[in-house]
Structure 1
């Protein structure tokens, strides 16, 4: 597998790939906060390469070994979460690229805030017990039972139902058109902070600190959906292989199955 993967990497024809948009994401490697960084190409749905750890140095190494200086200059957008080493490396290494914070992760931060509010309020309101999925699911995915449960919570006017409305208002920004994305975001942030929910305020503050990447997500509607699907496939590799003892083995397995490589000997 090592030999096939290296052969495929040497044969990869980069001239047939366009690098206007890239995705970068993390994936757990071993227990104890051991991670790898995955660079993927959304247009082809392939993993370009992976690097051990998720530090600024490892991310820079990954980009420089995966793309030539000319290709790095041609990258116009790169989607990622708000992990600081990824942001800093992209700003230094990709001179013409706009950072786009992934929609999936943005909504995830709001979902985490909603759940924190729920756990705080459930101590005083017993009817919030077993309401996690009713509150976190998208409205269109609720079962009839969950919909009834949520309607009861909404009628009670708890903070958690207000926090959920903040999330729904944010999701609507992606379908509101991009002409006034910055203005719409500012209005959303103002409305969210007026509700005076401390968990939501923290998320709004974080979004404001990374406002350009958030607004770019609204403007371009680009996301890490392909990277997340690859992440799931990589998890399947871990499960089937019952884990990998070394990074070299893990890298070869990822590229062997998901690198889009020509692996066969001539």
Structure 2
């Protein structure tokens, strides 16, 4: 039910209804407690036609947004660190992607916490490298080779166990005819096994061997991927102890998109931020 619906139902003005809701949100969600926090996720979102950025901090145990900062990067978290320090919360680990926007500041502000790079973002990056290579090969190929590689994007990016049997011949033809594509594809498939290793030591050994094979291919995009993984190895390997991902954050981002779409955007930023802080309660009462 929208504010306009409640206004019509109660014969109160829209501004009055909004004021009541905002007062309720401020009272119940305006100052989220940080004391019990242990596992966090950090990410940025943008909303509105002008793509206004906000930095979100999510409690991974409860799904609560516990901080919304203006902008992105280090500055957006300045006041959050002060509040967190005062709360005396004992943060164990922080999940994020490998973009680098928050890695260094988390290490600085939370030296006792582990940074965990999200496995799904890592595989997404690998898929992007594979797809970039595919496009380059299509541009260079001619004749039968071009026709064979063209239209294989879905086949290459889908995990092999999830492919329909009737799709396999086209994939196999493309891999048989093009060695660089074949090397990249099988390395992509192997990389997904990184998180199935029986110990952190085995995981580290697997990662280093994978990167060595990627470097040995001589393919620029695979060498780039290997260098990225090696430079982020500690955060990748920290997954073994903490098993965190930013999946809940992705779910929150989808809820925010739905929220802004239904409300056609929020002109009142204060009200919008309060709605974000209450988002973990999908249904909230309009009055306290």
- TM-score (ref. length: structure 2): 0.81
Q: Kindly name which structure, 1 or 2, has the bigger radius of gyration based on alpha carbons.
A: 2
Deviations 1:7-46 (A, max 9, x none): 112575555xx32211111212235653211111111122
The residue aligned with 1:169 is 190
Aligned partner of 1:9 in structure 2 is: 29
Paired with 2:160 and 2:43, the residues of 1 have a C-alpha distance of 28
Instruction: Provide the rounded CA distance (Å) in 2 between the counterparts of 1:254 and 1:67.
Output: 23
| Corresponding residue number in structure 2 for 1:132 | 153
1:38-88 per-position Cα deviation (integer Å, ceiling 9, x unaligned): 1111111222221121121112333434663511xx101100012333112
Pairwise CA distance, 1:206: 1.5
2:101 to 73, 78, 85: 85
- Give the drift of 1:258: 2.6
Instruction: Sort the Cα spacing of 1:245 and 1:201 in 2 relative to 1 into closer, same or farther, 3 A.
Output: farther
CA distance in 1, matches of 2:244, 2:115: 10
Moved more, 240-249 or 208-217: 240-249
Q: Per chain length, whose mean CA-contact separation is higher, i.e. which structure has more relative contact order (CA < 8 Å, sep 6+)?
A: 1
SS in 2 for 1:118: helix
Q: Where does residue 57 of structure 1 map in the other structure? A: 75
CA-to-aligned-CA distance 1:152-173 (integer Å, 9 cap, x gap): 2222243223212112211101
Provide the C-alpha distance between the structure 1 equivalents of 2:265 and 2:85, rounded to a whole number of angstroms: 29
Note the residue ranges of structure 2 that are not aligned, 5 or more in a row.
1-20
The answer to which of 207-216 and 96-105 deviates more is 207-216
Q: Secondary structure at the match of 1:122?
A: helix
Give the conservation status (yes or no) of the 8 Å contact 1:173–1:185: yes
Deviation digits for residues 67-125 of structure 1, max 9, x if unmatched? 63511xx1011000123331122112213111111111111110110110010001212
CA contact (8 A) 2:93 2:242 kept: no
Q: Is the 8 A contact 1:8 1:261 kept in 2?
A: no
In structure 1, C-alpha distance between the alignment counterparts of 2:113 and 2:186, rounded to whole Å: 33
Partner SS, residue 27 of structure 1: strand
- The verdict on how the C-alpha distance between 1:241 and 1:144 changes in structure 2, with shifts beyond 3 A counting, is farther
The CA distance in 1 between the partners of 2:199 and 2:256, in whole Å, is: 34
Comparing 238-247 and 104-113, the one that deviates more = 238-247
Q: Does 1:150 align with 2:168?
A: no
Which residue of 1 is the match for residue 58 of structure 2? Answer: 40
**1:112/1:99 CA distance change after superposition, 3 Å:** same
1:234 aligns with 2:274: no
Counterpart mapping for 1:110-259 below 5 A: 110-123=126-139, 124=141, 125-180=146-201, 181-245=203-267, 247-258=269-280
Number of the residue aligned with 1:75: 91
**Structure 1, unaligned stretches of length 5 or more?**
none
* Aligned counterpart for 1:30 among listed residues 48, 73, 82: 48
> Contact 2:46 / 2:52 at 8 angstroms: preserved in 1?
yes
Secondary structure of 1:54's counterpart equals coil
- Confirm or deny: 8 A CA contact 2:30 2:277 kept in the other structure: no
Aligned residues, how many?
A: 262
Cα distance change, pair 247–185 in 1 and its aligned pair in 2 (3 A): farther
Q: Which residue of 103, 108, 114 corresponds with 2:119?
A: 103
Q: CA RMSD in A?
A: 2.5
Q: Is the contact between residue 174 and residue 221 of structure 1 (CA under 8 Å) also seen in structure 2?
A: no
Query: How far apart are residue 209 of structure 1 and its match?
Result: 1.6
Deviates more, 1:54-63 or 1:4-13: 4-13
CA distance in 2, matches of 1:186, 1:247: 47
SS in 1 for 2:57: strand
